[in-house]
Amino acid sequence: MTTNSRMLFLIGVAFHLLVIAGHNILATADGVRTIYGWRLLPVPTEHRLRALLSHPVAAHYGIFSGIGMGYGFYAPQVGSPYVAMLERKSGGHCDTLFHPGLRTSTGILRFSSALDLFQWLTVAPDTAAHGMAKQLVDELAKQYRRRSGADSVRCHIYRIQPPSFQRPSDGIGLREVFSSSGYSIP
């Protein structure tokens, strides 16, 4: 192992660790801004860091080495998961099912990750987010109708409300946040 190869290795490691730290600092800053509304980093610093990490070299490196994410698992708070319910009508018969036909718990978990998009509706309830949510719900209903051959399918998105310390005996509740027939988000 030569001195040059060691130097190159150390430069590479410094880049690797800085990319990890950068993504995590931004993820933490985003979390803090969402919850408390204050900024962890000054605006110019945050913009500069974001621009650096979204440079094609850093972005591709982050994706392929798996470091292009924040490690704040369940932080700064535990989000409420979302669930999709499909209401199927076929020849006068009506039935409902949760998760559009997925059979495994890992498949359902992955599908729930996609539904986390609905979190943005409560964080940033703008027209684009609503448009995307509507498209997603409509497509879910359309795809399921095509696959199941039902006459009509309506899709509802619920947010799971876990029990709280104030009312521990209430159990888990469901609150509708979106449906293919229209918005129900405040």
Partner 1 sequence: MLTHFFFKKPVGGNYLQLLRIGTGSVLLFAVLELWPDFDALYGPDGVLPHSLVMEIQSAVGLSYPTILQEIHSVTAWPYAVLTHGTVTLYAILCILLAFARRLHRIVAAALLLLHSSLFTVQPLYSYGFDFLGSVALFYCLLAPRRPSSSWARPWLRVLQLHLCLIYFFSGAGKALGHTWRNGAALYKALGVPAMPPLLPLDTALPTLGEYPFAFAIGGWAVIILELGYAAGIWWRRTYSLFLYGAISLHAAIALLLGLYHFSLLMIVFNYCAFWTDPPAQYGNRQDGTPEAAKSTSTGYRPVM
For partner 1, the binding residues (CB under 8 A) are 1, 6, 9-10, 13, 16-17, 20-21, 24, 27-28, 31-32, 35, 59-60, 63-78, 80-81, 100-114, 117, 132, 135-136, 139-140, 143-144, 147, 160, 162-165, 168-169, 171-172
CB of 102 to partner 1, least distance (A): 5
CB of 100 to partner 1, least distance (A): 5
Closer to partner 1 by Cβ: residue 21 or 51 = 21
CB of 17 to partner 1, least distance (A): 6
Q: What are phi and psi of 12, to 5 degrees?
A: -60, -45
Judge residue 148's burial from the number of C-beta atoms within 10 Å of its C-beta, 0-12 exposed, 13-18 middle, 19 or more buried: middle
Closer to partner 1 by Cβ: residue 75 or 123 = 75
Map residue 2 onto helix, strand or coil. Answer: coil
Q: ∠166-115-99 over CA atoms, to 5°?
A: 95
Going along 28-172, which residue ranges are E strands?
82-90, 93-98, 152-161
Secondary structure letter of residue 166 according to DSSP: S
Q: What span, in angstroms and rounded, lies between the C-alpha atoms of 49 and 21?
A: 11
Q: Provide CB contacts within 8 A for 164, sequence distance 6+.
A: 170
Q: What span, in angstroms and rounded, lies between the C-alpha atoms of 15 and 156?
A: 45
CB of 92 to partner 1, least distance (A): 26
CB of 170 to partner 1, least distance (A): 8
Closer to partner 1 by Cβ: residue 102 or 185 = 102
Q: What span, in angstroms and rounded, lies between the C-alpha atoms of 75 and 132?
A: 25
Closer to partner 1 by Cβ: residue 112 or 122 = 112
Closer to partner 1 by Cβ: residue 9 or 123 = 9
Closer to partner 1 by Cβ: residue 92 or 168 = 168
CB of 51 to partner 1, least distance (A): 15
